[in-house]
Amino acid sequence: MFESFRVETKQRTGLVDITDDIVACIRTSKVKHGLACVYCPHTTAAITINENCDPSVQTDITNILSKLIPQNAGYAHSEGNADAHAKAAVIGSSRMLFIEDGKPVLGRWQGVFLCEFDGPRTREVRVKICKE
């Protein structure tokens, strides 16, 4: 079994801080020490861990990805969202977190983010929590 929650994204691209949702999933599980796998079951969204203090970092990450992988560049995929698929592939679908004392172990400036690359949409995040 796994916990899950939904995220309503508001823009085509952007990072959404889901750290509090992960904390809530771990609390619900009652696991004090173990691992949490945070997974996104979508082909044009991804999961990452990065700075959640200064929001300009999130803006820079999305802008850098958009420069590297432009929206329209003669792609083969005909849906018009080939860039979003490629960005999601680069970032990846999941991240693993340690759980200690019932909380995710993160650096002082770190948060967990859903990366939206083809929004706005309703996204699902799944969290598999295992006891140590």
Binding site for Zn ion (CB under 5 A): 79, 81
| Distance of closest approach, residue 42 Cβ to Zn ion, in angstroms | 11
Distance, CA of 13 to CA of 36 (rounded, Å): 26
Is the Cβ of residue 5 or residue 75 nearer to Zn ion in the bound state? 75
Phi, psi of 82 (to 5 degrees): -60, -35
* Interatomic CA distance for residues 130 and 68, integer angstroms: 36
Q: How far is CA 15 from the centre of its chain?
A: 7
Least distance CB 118 / Zn ion (angstroms): 7
* Chain residue whose CB lies nearest Zn ion: 79
Both tokens of 94, joined, read: 């999941």
**In the complex, least distance from residue 106 CB atom to Zn ion, rounded to whole angstroms:** 32
For Zn ion, the closer CB: 87 or 95:
87
Q: Structure tokens of 5?
A: 């929650």
- Identity of the residue, 90 or 105, whose beta carbon is nearer to Zn ion in the bound complex: 90
For the record, the structure tokens of 117 come out as: 């690359």
Please, which residue, 19 or 43, has the CB nearer to Zn ion?
Answer: 43
Q: What is the CA radius of gyration of the chain?
A: 15
Smallest distance from Zn ion to CB 12, Å: 13
